[in-house]
Amino acid sequence: VTASRESNGRFRVLIADDVDDLRALYRHVLEVSGLFTIVAEAGNGRHAIEMASEHQPDLVILDLAMPEMDGAQALPEIIEASPGSRVVVLSGFAERSLGPMVRTAGAAAFLEKGITPDRLIAELARVMRND
Amino acid sequence: MEPGELLEMLDNVQDVVSRYRLLPTPAMEYVNHAVERLLGYTPEEIYAQPDLLAFSVHPEDWDVLQPFGQPGEAPAEPVPVRLRRRDGSWVWVELWNAPIFGEDGGVVAVAGVARDITERRMVEAANRELEAVRLRQAQALEINDNVVQGLVTAKLLSELGRNAEAIDVLERALDGARRIITELLEGTEGSDEVLGRGLRRESAAGGAM
């Protein structure tokens, strides 16, 4: 494992998604896994940049379609504000539509929403292991 | 200004200026040299074939050419039409035809001005395409926000064993999907015709049990 962890051994995560229910569910799934702890949440891209700058999380889970500033706009600024973070885009859009674009912009991975909780945890763990 | 000076000036403008005589016999009385730049024909060739300009108008654009009004009426607005160039290509022009009336009130000639608007039409077409792209993006976002996010939430709830909550979310997603479909159909030109035909599918719907 290459990324840093906090004292309890968990990766510190920022979740940016404008759907409150989904943020709560992702928080639950990630925390129950024992691998991640949520240090901040954001409901739009601009807030995500602020939270990334403030918390310097190990992992940012970033939605794309959000109000005020979308995830694609926020992505480069999140990387600039928190250079040590890995950013995983988790979007309702298809990977083939936007995956190449967000990877070029610096995202470590693109995951489609609808992925099962087990698979989500496995993919996020893979990203944090830098496989 | 002397007539010769006037003709010299007309030959140096960018727009095609013409005067087509209808009576006593039809003939192109004057067309400036801009016509060669626009259509590839010299004024002399057009004098020899007086109907050349009229027959170069695209058949689909004849409808936009309005009948002439009466003496004293305001001239018609310029209209966009396509003209066929000598090489077979089409050029968009803004055509302004003004009738010249005789003493008896009848139209004896037509003064015409044609301005090349191909570039403007290309910009307009590009803007329409951009607008269409923006509309498709907005529709994709609407579906994402109101349907996909709901389905994702419901799937996740179901996988966590929270089925009652999942069904609530599914019902909201279904309402969202119905609303979007209604809005899309209401915003579609000819939607009444579409609805009247019963929304016949090109192929069977997938996913329904």
Complex confidence, ipTM: 0.76
* Residue A58 confidence (pLDDT): 96
**Residue A39 contacts residue A53 (beta carbons within 8 Å):** no
| H or E element that contains B81 | strand B79-84
Of B141, B144, B152, the CB nearest to A22: B152
Residue B65 or residue B112, greater confidence: B112
- Give residue-wise pLDDT tens across range A13-56: 999 999 999 999 999 999 999 999 999 999 999 999 999 999 99
* Residue A37 confidence (pLDDT): 96
pLDDT tier for residue B22 given thresholds of 50, 70 and 90: confident
* Residue A14 confidence (pLDDT): 98
Q: Say whether residue A116 is in contact with chain B using an 8 A CB cutoff.
A: yes
A27 Cβ partners below 8 Å, 6+ apart? A15, A38, A41
Q: Do the chains contact at A117 and B160, CB–CB below 8 Å?
A: yes
Q: Do the chains contact at B149 and A19, CB–CB below 8 Å?
A: yes
* Residue A107 confidence (pLDDT): 96
User: Which residues on neighbouring strands pair with residue B113, listed in sequence order?
Assistant: B17, B96
* Residue B24 confidence (pLDDT): 83
| H or E element that contains A104 | helix A95-104
Q: Do the chains contact at A22 and B160, CB–CB below 8 Å?
A: no
Q: Do the chains contact at B169 and A21, CB–CB below 8 Å?
A: yes
Q: How much is the pTM? A: 0.65
* pLDDT reading at B59 higher than 80: yes
Q: How far apart are CA B14 and CA B114, in angstroms?
A: 9
A 57-86 near B (Cβ less than 8 A): 65
* pLDDT reading at B190 higher than 60: no
Spatial CA neighbour of A1 closest among A129, A131, A121, A87: A129
Of A21, A65, A114, the CB nearest to B155: A114
Among A107-116, B24-33, B108-117, B192-201, the least confident range = B192-201
* Residue B187 confidence (pLDDT): 65
Spatial CA neighbour of B115 closest among B97, B90, B100, B95: B95
| Ordered alpha helix ranges (H), B11-112 | 34-39, 43-48, 52-55
- How close does chain A come to B202, measured CA to CA in Å? 24
A 37-56 near B (Cβ less than 8 A): none
Place of tokens 């979308």: A70
Going by their DSSP bridges, the two strands B16-21 and B27-31 should be labelled as antiparallel
Give the angle B154-B159-B162 at the CA atoms, nearest 5°.
65
B187 Cβ partners below 8 Å, 6+ apart? none
* Residue B208 confidence (pLDDT): 43
* Residue B72 confidence (pLDDT): 66
Q: Do the chains contact at A117 and B159, CB–CB below 8 Å?
A: yes
Quickly count helices (H) and strands (E) in chain A: 5, 5
- Give residue-wise pLDDT tens across range A84-131: 999 999 998 888 888 999 999 999 999 999 899 999 999 999 999 886
- Give residue-wise pLDDT tens across range A53-64: 999 999 999 999
Place of tokens 């039809």: B26
Phi, psi of B127 (to 5 degrees): -65, -40
Q: Do the chains contact at B152 and A92, CB–CB below 8 Å?
A: yes
| Ordered alpha helix ranges (H), chain B | 3-10, 34-39, 43-48, 52-55, 118-143, 149-159, 163-186, 191-196
Tell me which DSSP letter residue B134 carries: H
* pLDDT reading at B142 higher than 90: no
pLDDT tier for residue B140 given thresholds of 50, 70 and 90: confident
* Residue B65 confidence (pLDDT): 76
